[in-house]
Amino acid sequence: MKLATLILTFLWWTMSYGQDSEEQSVRASFNSYKSAILNDRGEEAINFVDSRTIKYYDDVLESAKTADSAQVESLSVWDKLMVLLIRHRTSKDDILSFDGRSVLVYAIENGMVGKNSVIDNSIGEVAIDGTFAKGRLVSKGQNTPLDLHFYKEDSRWKIDLTFLFKISTIALKNMIEESGQSENEFFFSLLEIATGKKPNAQIWQPIREIEEQ
């Protein structure tokens, strides 16, 4: 009986230790991503975002390269802003040479990924289910109702930024409504504030079409 009890105790301890270690790994992944963002280290940050995020930037980049004005207008509000932002802040040669990974690195290193999205944030309680984890977002020391999503890929926990984009879309729509501007007016104001220059009509044209002109 004593031997059975010792074995069960050891197994429980081993499982608990393993779970705690995984939870710490989720937090460590976020902290590494946060540090890279705050220091404009795109190549480092990219190691802590998941394949869903890279796929998203692949798709947005393809729209930046090929979508005409009607196609851009048909995008979701967040995707539309991303396409216009890439076209306005990035040279056509760079856009044509980028893939999803490299455009995200460029965005981080050129201030297109806001540091305020991570600077006061940390991960609190973590729940793990196989290769998926949820980490409660703590902002300025206070728990929020938001969980960040992580997936384990290549033996490392990586953050799924696309989940955050869904939440950002809601906030963006509210900001547009409160501004009293049309969607496009609001976007153009943002782009001008960010760069100090007004967008021109070419922002609605596919980059490959501009290249051919």
Residues 131-143 have pLDDT tens digits of 999 999 999 889 9
Place of tokens 């890439």: 86
- List, in order, residues 6 or more apart from 31 with CB less than 8 Å away: 122, 123
What the block records as the tokens of 63 is 């729209």
Residues of the chain with pLDDT under 70: 1-20, 208-213
Burial of 33 (0-12, 13-18, 19+ CB in 10 A): buried
Place of tokens 């696309």: 162
**Pairwise CA distance, residues 96 & 212, whole Å:** 12
Q: Which of 175, 183, 182, 184 is nearest to 203 (CA)?
A: 184
How far, CA to CA in Å, does 30 sit from each of 19, 39, 138, 150?
Answer: 17, 14, 12, 9
Residue 164: what pLDDT? 85
Place of tokens 């799924």: 160
What the block records as the tokens of 31 is 């902290």
| Size of the chain in residues | 213
Q: Is 161 in contact with 53 (CB distance < 8 Å)? A: yes
What the block records as the tokens of 115 is 């540091």
Residue 81: what pLDDT? 94
Residue 209: what pLDDT? 61
